[in-house]
Structure 1
Amino acid sequence: MRKAIKMIALFSLPLCVACGGGSKELVNEMPTTVNLLYPTQNLLCIDNNISFDWSDATDPNGDNISYKVEISKNRELTNIVKAQTISTSQSTITLEKGVAYYWRVIAVDNKGKQGEPSSVFAFYTKAEGESNIAPFTAELVKPADEIKVDGLIVTLEWKGADSNTGDTLTYDVYFGEDVTPITLKEEGISTTSVEVTVESGKTYYWKVNTIDNTGAKSIGQVWSFTVN
């Protein structure tokens, strides 16, 4: 009798293993981030019919990939003027002349999973007969927007650029507790960083206006941070 019970147990074991070994559902991973190739960062485009180009993305699951191209008139890409989703890594788009643009690309798989957005590149489409061009808006370096920071002295840092590469740039820095900063912290400086004294528990707002040597000015985006 005991031998018969053992045989029943042995024969039933594979069945139990089969019942409990169900396959796991494959996790859909996001595609890789693309690199922008053209127009390059801070490029002055003589022609406004532009062939945008970027690197191919890959997908860990082998899914088909499309690309979401976004072109904006501001660096934070809240003012999108052109957007398209295509299956190739190149697209020719006609834009207005005499405008500073900012662009990025996001890879998307065929299940709708988006990759991390690419870097944002700036470029300018030159207008007919235009001799001087306003600089690009300042690009944030640190602290990251809406981040929490430690310490009572914070270094504000940014990047400036102009498609007229021979221009000299200066900066007006506005800083304070107002959501729209109106207090001029520094005026006409040529450096791209300043130190500010802050208080624990407060939120601060700041922006940088960029001016070239002819007086052409670009108004910066407002950034913020909170002190722990």
Structure 2
Amino acid sequence: MIRNIIWLSILVLLAGCGGDDGPPPAPQGAQLVFPEENSECTTGTEINQNTTQITFRWMASNNTDSYTLTVVNLETNVPQNISTASTSASLSISKGTPFAWSVTSRNSTSDQVASSPTWLFYNAGAQTTYAPFPAQLERPASGATVQKDLANEVVLEWSGADVDGDIASFEVFFSESNPPITSVGIANATTMALPVGVESGTVYYWRVVTTDSEGNTSISSVFDFKVL
């Protein structure tokens, strides 16, 4: 009887030692440091007359053992990616060009990832004034299926920024063709939303042209969505 009690106690202890500790901790998003948001980046190593090497920096994030830096040329929408265990990485990028950059945090023991905010900057070139950053389309997300409101409208939302801080207007192009060619409204510098009329079962395309006070313009990417 005593022997059975001892064996039962051992089994309970073993079961306790092998208990479920829960899922591994998920990584957290990194805080970006440099290049600064909506800035002109004048620090870098010149590679040639068209290219400089920029060192991107961010803060270490919790539960993270590697990072993926993503830098997107906003004129071509072509990304560059580099993975590192460090909190900095260098890439060669075009001068006088707008870029977006972000960092993805990863943990080898977790299948979850975390993304930082996305910051925009211009890599300095010969120009003394810069066109606005291409507007960042936000809602509806590209490829989304959305519900129209009672007025048979959907609200288009975007964000805009400019190194010189002199955005004058946003012009919205919206149609059933790609690229969209129909101008449906011009918003001032502080308005970044516009309602548009839609019909159920239709796919629409939209983009935004940003203009500054000196007449410089930039064109966003094209987003599409379907209306239920």
What TM-score do you get using the length of structure 2 for normalisation? 0.78
Question: Is 1:142 matched with 2:146?
Answer: no
* 1:136, distance to aligned residue in structure 2 (A): 0.6
CA RMSD, Structure 1 to Structure 2 (Å): 2.9
Q: Does the Cα contact within 8 Å between 1:28 and 1:113 map onto a contact in 2?
A: no
Q: 37, 50, 56: which is aligned to 1:52? A: 56
Q: Supply the distance in 1 between the matched residues of 2:36 and 2:82 (Cα, whole angstroms).
A: 19
Change (3 A) 1:15 1:96: same
| Higher mean C-alpha displacement, 17-26 vs 111-120 | 17-26
* SS of equivalent residue, structure 1 residue 137: coil
Change (3 A) 1:215 1:48: farther
Q: Does the Cα contact within 8 Å between 1:103 and 1:121 map onto a contact in 2?
A: yes
* SS of equivalent residue, structure 1 residue 181: coil
Q: Supply the distance in 1 between the matched residues of 2:112 and 2:3 (Cα, whole angstroms).
A: 52
Question: Is 1:173 matched with 2:172?
Answer: yes
Q: Does the Cα contact within 8 Å between 1:173 and 1:209 map onto a contact in 2?
A: yes
Partner of 2:38: 42
How many residues are paired up?
A: 215
Between the aligned residues of both structures, percent identity stands at 29
Q: Does the Cα contact within 8 Å between 2:71 and 2:99 map onto a contact in 1?
A: yes
* 1:120, distance to aligned residue in structure 2 (A): 1.3
Q: Supply the distance in 1 between the matched residues of 2:86 and 2:10 (Cα, whole angstroms).
A: 49
1:74-153 equivalences under 5 Å are 74=74, 79-81=78-80, 83-111=81-109, 113-128=111-126, 130-150=127-147, 151=149, 152-153=152-153
1:13-52 equivalences under 5 Å are 13-14=8-9, 23-24=19-20, 27-49=23-45, 50-52=54-56
* SS of equivalent residue, structure 1 residue 71: strand
Q: Supply the distance in 2 between the matched residues of 1:188 and 1:58 (Cα, whole angstroms).
A: 41
Q: Does the Cα contact within 8 Å between 2:106 and 2:114 map onto a contact in 1?
A: no
What TM-score do you get using the length of structure 1 for normalisation? 0.78
* SS of equivalent residue, structure 1 residue 169: strand
* 1:188, distance to aligned residue in structure 2 (A): 7.0
1:53-106 Cα shifts (integer Å, max 9, x gaps): 2121111xxxx611111111029x95113x222222133444332111111101
* 1:122, distance to aligned residue in structure 2 (A): 0.6
Q: Does the Cα contact within 8 Å between 1:160 and 1:169 map onto a contact in 2?
A: no
Change (3 A) 1:46 1:15: closer
The amino acid that maps onto 1:161 is A
The amino acid that maps onto 1:175 is F
Partner of 1:3: none
* 1:218, distance to aligned residue in structure 2 (A): 1.3
Q: Does the Cα contact within 8 Å between 1:66 and 1:86 map onto a contact in 2?
A: yes
Q: Supply the distance in 2 between the matched residues of 1:46 and 1:54 (Cα, whole angstroms).
A: 18
- The unaligned stretches of length 5 or more in structure 2 are 46-53
- The unaligned stretches of length 5 or more in structure 1 are 1-5
Partner of 1:210: 210
Partner of 2:69: 69
